Chain A
Amino acid sequence: MASILVYIEPAADAAGAGPLPSSLEALGEARRIATALGAPLYAAAPFLGPASGETDPDAEHKLVELLGRCGADRVVLMPMPMGTGPAMWASHGEALHAVYERVQPRLVLLSATRAGCDLAPRLAARARAQLMAEPRLQTDADGALALGDLERPVIATLRPGAHQPARGEDEAEVLLMQSAPAQPRNVEYLSSSEDPGAALDTARVIVVAGAGVRTAEGYALVGELAAALGAELGATHDLCARGLAPAHRVIDVGARRVAPALYIVCAASGSRTHLDAVSGNPDIIAINSDPEAPVFQVARYGIVGPIEDVIPALIEALAGRLPAAVSS
């Protein structure tokens, strides 16, 4: 019987860290498919502990219990030391591959986080598997999974926020892997620090300044709108390249992806490299002096005019009102 495997990314590099919510979403999607196919569902869960390798039995039990309630039939615990930095191939890859070899799944799901996007292609290449980004996983009338070449396993990444965790009362069987195989030392974790733009990753409301902002004063004006709305401030790549905005605020396919509920675009044309980095189908408000700007084709609301005129009047008209998304 073909099985399904889900990688459960730890929420933090700390002893007994629980799972990342988006991994539980992937597990929920896997549960739906596993039920339709009658396939066993495995969750591969790194379990972080001290360098000695000893684990906290209570924390271990809680993790297995949670994953069982969220849909896993079997939980494969991968004990590994904390302090190896963020989850990625260099720290978790060999252990995940060992689980893959043991379980021999036909379908592997990971959340499309930095870790998932680091692990999935390398695991797929090693396994000579198909690799898919955010596919729609449908089962047909006969209960078969409608995927590509069924001769090869499929490894797929799922967009965070696009699926729902499962909620049940089932218990999962535990399989304990041996301690993780030694990772190559070529990539050695040293330290971590705050990402000054991290708030953009989870912001519900974002105001972004685009290439049409020509001056530092213009950028500051967009910042005032963000402050008035309780929003995070972002910028397109062009603006940062001109030195008007710091690099950590870039929202771009090649820099940072965001998933707000409300996205206010100021003086940006709406290029693909910018808007492709915005997911979740937010309400978009576009402010642009060019009535033909492509951004008006994707925005829900628009207003034509230079930001120097529109933004001060908009702030005054807001009169302290805040987006509904700020509190939701």
Chain B
Amino acid sequence: MVVLVRRVAAEHEGHGLLGHCEQAALAAALRLRDQLGGTLTAVALGTAGHEEPVLQAALDAGCDRALRVDAPGQTSSLRPGRSLGYLAVATVLSAAVRRLGCDLLLCGDRGQDQGHGVIGPAVAELLGMPHLTGVLDARLDEAWIAAKGTGELALTAQQRSSGRLHRFRCRLPVVLCMLGAAQSAAGGALANRGAQEPRARAAADTARPRIEELGLGALDVDPGLLGSGASEPDAEPAQRAQLAQRSAADSHGSQAVMATSPADLVTRLVADHVLR
């Protein structure tokens, strides 16, 4: 099993180093690993300084292995926000996952910062694995497994889509993209505790798993895909309307009109036709 983790951008770190969706993915991965057995590896792409805290947190939370794919000097090309950056990120991650061998991969449905939700489906495509996004919960389908009696494994997954909750049976191999949910709080707290309270390590503690590192040279990745990022124009000149970055023209002024009392607020809202 593999879980993809990624450190959130600095301005989002008030909620921990992992986004809510990654927290949910990690919690689900740990639970499924305990049910299924096998090895759970946390994988991150980036520099040591940036990603090793989240990988250490994943190990502290109970992952069996942690792998950092090193991409020094390429970070600018590996932002999903660039129009081809998603493909570079997905290519590198899928190559690393392929090298590990995996029949169940979990990741966050979307990042806490950019929130585009593209990496999971793109990685699934490059791995040739089916995928499901918007997953709220995933459980071992013990009844189906027992009835099948072939050793084949399956999960039931609950997805939120189109105003409904949908249930699916997902036979392995599969990629599940997890939505952040309150039940992930336990996993998130566990994951982020490790990052916020690093444990002192005894010099002779060789049994504790260490973060493994893999360079791009060890992966069968087309260098041209990665090298193009540096000169590629930013193909997203228009950002999604983000309330925290609204211009003064959009936000009716740079600061709120402050009411002196609830009655004053209602008077203003009626005058501005916000209230009837």
Contact = CB atoms under 8 A, between A and B. Distances in A.
Interface in B73-108: 83-84, 86-87, 90, 108
B35 interface: no
Interface residues of A, number: 96
Contacts of B242: 272, 275-276
A238 B15 CA distance: 9
B266 A273 contact: no
Q: Interface SS of chain B: helix, strand, loop or mixed?
A: mixed
A62 to B, nearest CB: 21
A159 interface: yes
A89 to B, nearest CB: 7
A14 interface: no
B115 A254 contact: yes
A313 B238 contact: no
B167 interface: yes
B57 interface: no
B165 to A, nearest CB: 5
A68 to B, nearest CB: 25
B162 A114 contact: yes
Interface residues of B, number: 95
Contact of B118 (A121, A192, A279, A297): A121
Contacts of B156: 190
B262 A310 contact: yes
A271 B243 contact: no
Nearest to B90: A125
Contacts of A243: 182
A297 B250 CA distance: 12
Interface of B: 11-12, 14-15, 19-21, 24, 83-84, 86-87, 90, 108-113, 115-122, 124-126, 129-134, 136, 156, 159-174, 179-183, 185, 188, 232-233, 235-238, 240-244, 246, 250-259, 261-263, 265-266, 268-270, 273-276
Interface of A: 85-90, 113-115, 117-118, 120-122, 124-126, 128, 130-136, 147-149, 152, 154, 159, 184-195, 198, 201-202, 237-238, 240-241, 243, 246-247, 250, 252-256, 262, 270-273, 275-276, 278-281, 283-286, 294, 296-304, 310, 313-314, 316-318, 321-325, 327
